[in-house]
A and B are shown apart, each in its own frame.
Chain A
Amino acid sequence: MSEAEAVRTLKINILRFDPNDPDDFPHMQTFEIQESAGMTLYIVLNEIREHHDNALMFDFVCRAGICGSCSMLINGRPGLACRTLTSKMDANITLAPLPLFELIKDLSIHTGKWMRGLSERLETWIHEQEQTRDIDMLEERMEPALADEIYELDRCIECGCCVAGCGTIQMRPDFVGAVGLNKIARYHLDPRDKRSEEEYYKLIGDENGVFGCMTLLGCEDVCPKDLPLRSKIAYLRRMMLKVAL
């Protein structure tokens, strides 16, 4: 008896729906899985697909918290399946796709499409002055501390957790969200980007931008990469206020 108790049976409830199948409707399906040592939700999902239902759809690439593909709602909170150990959870686990993003099927969502739109909207690339471009010129030197600061923000994997964890963007889908503001903070720090403060203000100085943020802090608390999102949003808020005073 005691051995049987030592191995838990996990009850995995998954919200399933195929938007391309006209006969399908959103419904919950429960799978029972024997827990093993060091098991992550990513392993659980593979187990289900291998032994229970090979039609279950979910995204993954790296299984190490680097690619940002396996983001989903885990017991209602956004997180990465590959970074979530079942041993730290209750045996009853509910999984659902992240809200706001286009649903492909089951747990698979189109974050890439949304992120691409965001990049185009915020022009998240280095803007330099055309006439100064000279391919033989050495790149300007940068202080290591600044390079580190920029790199810290570049660690964003665009998993969409901060978007799904943000109450503001759920209510007002035109809000840029922490992922967008983090990118702007990253380019704003970068001396190679020659955009003026006014140009940045045009991108985020309204209520769909930094002044729409209601400081619910869901973004920072669910970010799997522990990015300093709140502090960067505060930084942008101060910068943008300076432009407007």
Chain B
Amino acid sequence: MDVKKIDKTPARLDFLQSISGVVLAVFIMGHILFEASILISNEMMYRVTIMFEGYYFFGETYPGIISFLASAIFIIFILHATLALRKFPASYQQYKTIKEHTKRMKHEDSSLWMIQVITGFMMFFIGSVHLYIMITQPSNIGPYASSYRIVEEFMGPLYFMLLLSVIAHAFIGLYRVALKWGFMEGENTELSRKRFKFLMRHMIVVYIIIGLASLAKYTYIGLTHDFSDGVQYKSETIKIGEHK
């Protein structure tokens, strides 16, 4: 057998898909928790916001940092979507086959993959909208600005769909990546799988509850707050001169 040349690309593509997915999932786990700071107080959410704008490092805020981070996430997002497209059904025939197979099998993990395809497809669109706004309007993040966007700019329904799809996709994805590569697999492989599945299910529930609660709080602020004074939050304790 000629062994001189092997095509290393398929291995690298598969690994890149997994690793980019893990990076995005870890990002989302942080994202949902940081935005949930609104559940503590408006002031808390404001402080988290200016932390990401570099206030605690430079003494003033640079929303450009948010644009930069959002752009980096967008690039990883596009990379992950491109790599994941390899696995999508490529024709109606293939789609019909996998759909009938899943229906016939009544098998949880096969169905989980279908959820990944559907939520992934949804996020091509709604994820892109969200990321583009974060890149172009980085200074419009805060207890009032975000609430304004959710209520007055009708982003609420989009965030609701994005929340459900991204949480399901992230944790099902982490579960599948762990099994795909045998991550932290014990002697009893069945038990390892059961534990990962337990973790996946509970994380989905916990994160959806946290995410929905935050979204409800932003919506409440958006409905009750008087925006005639602008959308920027004015902190009692932190005064930033240059910040618009």
Chain A interface residues toward B at CB < 8 A: 73, 76-77, 165, 167, 170-172, 196, 198-199, 201-202, 205-207, 209, 211, 213-218, 221, 228, 230-231, 234-235, 237-238, 240-241, 243-245
Contacts and interface: CB of A to CB of B under 8 A. Distances in A.
A238 B181 contact: yes
Contacts of B11: 201, 205, 211, 240-241, 243-245
Contact of A234 (B87, B94, B179): B179
Contacts of A215: 109, 113, 176, 179-180
Nearest to A239: B11
Tell me whether chain B's interface is mostly helix, strand or loop, or mixed.
helix
A73 B105 CA distance: 9
Contact of B113 (A214, A228, A230): A214
Interface string B88-125: 01000010011001101111011001000000000000
A221 B107 contact: yes
A167 B98 contact: yes
Contacts of B106: 76-77
Nearest to A195: B1
B189 A202 contact: no
Tell me whether chain A's interface is mostly helix, strand or loop, or mixed.
helix
A76 B106 CA distance: 8
5 contacts: A77-B106, A205-B6, A205-B11, A216-B113, A230-B193
Nearest to B100: A170
Given A199-B3, A205-B8, 15 more contacts: A77-B104, A201-B11, A202-B6, A205-B10, A207-B86, A209-B10, A211-B13, A211-B14, A216-B113, A218-B107, A234-B180, A234-B181, A244-B6, A244-B10, A244-B11
Contacts of A198: 3, 6
B161 to A, nearest CB: 25
A167 B179 contact: no
Nearest to B104: A76
Interface string B175-190: 0100111100100010
Contacts of B1: 199, 202
Contacts of A211: 10-11, 13-14
A234 to B, nearest CB: 3
A163 B155 CA distance: 45
A207 B113 contact: no
A62 B7 CA distance: 44
